[in-house]
Amino acid sequence: MTPMSAMTGTLHSRVFLHVDMDAFYAAIEQRDHPEYRGKPLVVGSPPDQRGVVSTASYEARVFGIHSAMPSSEAGRRCPHAIFVPPDMPRYHAVSARLFDIFERYTPCVEGLSIDEAFLDVTGSLHLFGSGEQIARRIKTDIQSELDLTCSVGIAPNKFLAKLGSEFRKPDGLTLLPFDRNGITAFLRPLSVSRLWGVGKVTRQAFDRAALYTIGDVQDAPLPLLQSVVGPHAAAHLQALAFGEDPREIELDVREKSISREHTFLRDERSRSLLDTTLFELVEDVARRLRADGRHASTARLKIRWKDFSTITRQRPLQPPTRIEQDLQTIAQTLFREIRLEQPVRLIGFGVSGLAESSAACQLDLFDLSVETRTRQEQLDQTIDRIRQSLGPAAIRRARTLPPRNRKNP
């Protein structure tokens, strides 16, 4: 069965790029540490600790290691792999430069994550050439300025552009057809799992109906698809099967919350250690808020017990803030409300209700004066600059130091 829109000969003349960095975290580590190059590298928790893989280099992926895999499993698959902890401030700094490159070519940039974005370059074609020429220029700029590689898909819509970027990784460039017949033919042999939104459960439903390829979905009567996935999903997935995707670029798509968690190697009972760990988590959340130029209006504490049960506590922040002292105070208040009835497996802290500025917020003049808050923000920003220049360990607050390194008053 063919949707009516698929009967016409050409698509609208929009040009989208999907740019996806290749093993971003691992590539930065290999770039900055020559001794890691050409070796299996895992960014994530050590294999002898609880935690997961954030990113694996392509040398590590040969052993079946992938993101979100338990680090212990990654260590078993490749005992000689190098494990390094994530350095998020460094990765975010590189990401900022990456998005600056994107914005040289178009203001229509939709960031999907720290290392991935859609670009609508339709309005830039008269300035920089074809979509393929723009993609090659972006790849060249990233290689020369960041010493990193990316993969790019070029297509008439977002779904097809993302599909294209996955085709020739790493360091790939794929130009998809722009005519309907070419798109239909390109998609036909691909697995139904390549359709956006088809996960494990939907794939199993398609398998039971003997619908294995996108071509099978193109040919299926709509009532059959409706019986498999429901009426709304059936129409949506069949449209995708013919390469139809009407979505536009969403500008300023950003995180709706910022959070950090820590899973302990052994279930932890020490309130002192939990307190110090929470302090470090809040410190990082506050830094990320400042780097993003936003203020938070809600704080949230998360505790996971030994038996895997989880509790959360949250509190509004009035006025919205990004000052670390404010966040530390509310985090400790929430933590003191919780009775440690059993050992803690995980502790986390996050903020939400993010806004660009607190300018519209009324300051509580009975709490902190404008002058005091300004000084605190300046202190936080000075610490950020020192760490960005000299590294995260260049300056630390006393309570995060190991006991033997603390000076007694």
Asked if residue 196 and residue 50 are part of one domain, the reply reads no
Separation CA 279–CA 250 (nearest Å): 35
| Residue 92 within a domain | yes
- CATH number for position 217: 1.10.150.20
Tell which wins on pLDDT, 392 or 72.
Answer: 72
Asked if residue 148 and residue 213 are part of one domain, the reply reads no
Separation CA 19–CA 249 (nearest Å): 14
Instruction: Name which of 54-68, 203-217, 261-275 the model is least confident about.
Output: 261-275
Q: Is the pLDDT of residue 235 over 70?
A: yes
Coil vs helix vs strand at 305:
strand
Asked if residue 50 and residue 161 are part of one domain, the reply reads yes
Q: Is the pLDDT of residue 407 over 50?
A: no
- Residue 303 one-letter amino acid: I
Rounded percentage of the chain residues whose pLDDT exceeds 90: 61
| Residue 182 within a domain | no
At residue 408 the predicted structure's pLDDT band, cuts being 50, 70 and 90, is very low
Q: Is the pLDDT of residue 4 over 50?
A: no
pLDDT at 253: 59
Strand 173-175 and strand 150-155: the pairing is parallel
pLDDT at 375: 63
| Residue 170 within a domain | yes
- CATH number for position 112: 3.30.70.270
| Residue 150 within a domain | yes
- CATH number for position 284: 3.30.1490.100
pLDDT at 352: 87
Separation CA 71–CA 306 (nearest Å): 20
Q: Give the CA distances from residue 17 to residues 66, 98, 105, 137, 174, in Å, rounded to whole numbers and listed in that order.
A: 25, 15, 11, 12, 10
Strand 41-44 and strand 82-84: the pairing is parallel
CB 183 within 8 A of CB 54: no
Strand order in the sheet with 310-321: 257-268, 344-352, 296-305, 310-321
| Residue 58 within a domain | yes
Catalytic residue among 116, 244, 283, 324: 116
Of 151, 176, 201, the residue at which a domain comes to its end is: 176
Q: Which of 116, 90, 142, 144 is nearest to 17 (CA)?
A: 116
Q: DSSP string covering 307-375, please?
A: TS-EEEEEEEEEEEE--HHHHHHHHHHHHHTS---S-EEEEEEEEES-BS-STTSPP-TTT--HHHHHH
Separation CA 205–CA 67 (nearest Å): 26
Task: Give helix 271-292 / helix 88-105 axis angle, nearest 10°.
Answer: 20
Asked if residue 383 and residue 320 are part of one domain, the reply reads yes
Separation CA 143–CA 136 (nearest Å): 10
Tell which wins on pLDDT, 230 or 389.
Answer: 230
Q: pTM of the entire structure?
A: 0.68
CB 158 within 8 A of CB 245: yes
Q: Is the pLDDT of residue 44 over 90?
A: yes
Mean pLDDT score of the chain, rounded to an integer? Answer: 86
pLDDT winner (highest mean) among 173-177, 257-261, 335-339: 173-177
Q: DSSP string covering 170-238, please?
A: SS-EEE---BHHHHHHHHTTSBGGGSTT--HHHHHHHHHTT--BHHHHHHS-HHHHHHHH-HHHHHHHH
The count of residues in the chain is: 409
Q: Is the pLDDT of residue 383 over 80?
A: no
| Residue 367 within a domain | yes
Q: How many CA atoms lie within 13 A of 44 on its CB side?
A: 29
Our CA angle for 64, 65, 66, nearest 5°, is 115
Asked if residue 268 and residue 362 are part of one domain, the reply reads yes
Separation CA 259–CA 262 (nearest Å): 11
Asked if residue 209 and residue 269 are part of one domain, the reply reads no
Number of domains in the chain: 3
At residue 377 the predicted structure's pLDDT band, cuts being 50, 70 and 90, is low
At residue 366 the predicted structure's pLDDT band, cuts being 50, 70 and 90, is very low
pLDDT at 387: 53
At residue 372 the predicted structure's pLDDT band, cuts being 50, 70 and 90, is low
Task: Give helix 131-146 / helix 88-105 axis angle, nearest 10°.
Answer: 140
Q: Can you name the residues that pair with 52 across neighbouring β-strands?
A: 70
pLDDT at 381: 59
At residue 399 the predicted structure's pLDDT band, cuts being 50, 70 and 90, is low
Domain around 387: 257-405
Asked if residue 264 and residue 214 are part of one domain, the reply reads no
Asked if residue 229 and residue 347 are part of one domain, the reply reads no
Q: Is the pLDDT of residue 41 over 70?
A: yes
pLDDT at 323: 87
Asked if residue 343 and residue 280 are part of one domain, the reply reads yes
Asked if residue 198 and residue 169 are part of one domain, the reply reads no
Asked if residue 401 and residue 282 are part of one domain, the reply reads yes
| Residue 323 within a domain | yes
pLDDT tens for 53-83 read: 999 999 999 999 999 899 999 999 999 999 9
At residue 254 the predicted structure's pLDDT band, cuts being 50, 70 and 90, is low
pLDDT tens for 120-179 read: 999 999 999 999 999 999 999 999 999 999 999 999 999 999 999 999 899 999 999 999
Of 176, 201, 227, the residue at which a domain comes to its end is: 176
Instruction: Name which of 181-185, 195-199, 355-359 the model is least confident about.
Output: 355-359
Instruction: Name which of 4-13, 297-306, 377-386 the model is least confident about.
Output: 4-13
Asked if residue 233 and residue 203 are part of one domain, the reply reads yes
| Residue 340 within a domain | yes
pLDDT at 393: 53
pLDDT at 281: 95
145 is a catalytic site residue:
no
Give the count of beta carbons closer than 10 Å to the beta carbon of residue 288.
Answer: 19
pLDDT tens for 280-305 read: 999 999 988 888 888 898 999 999 99
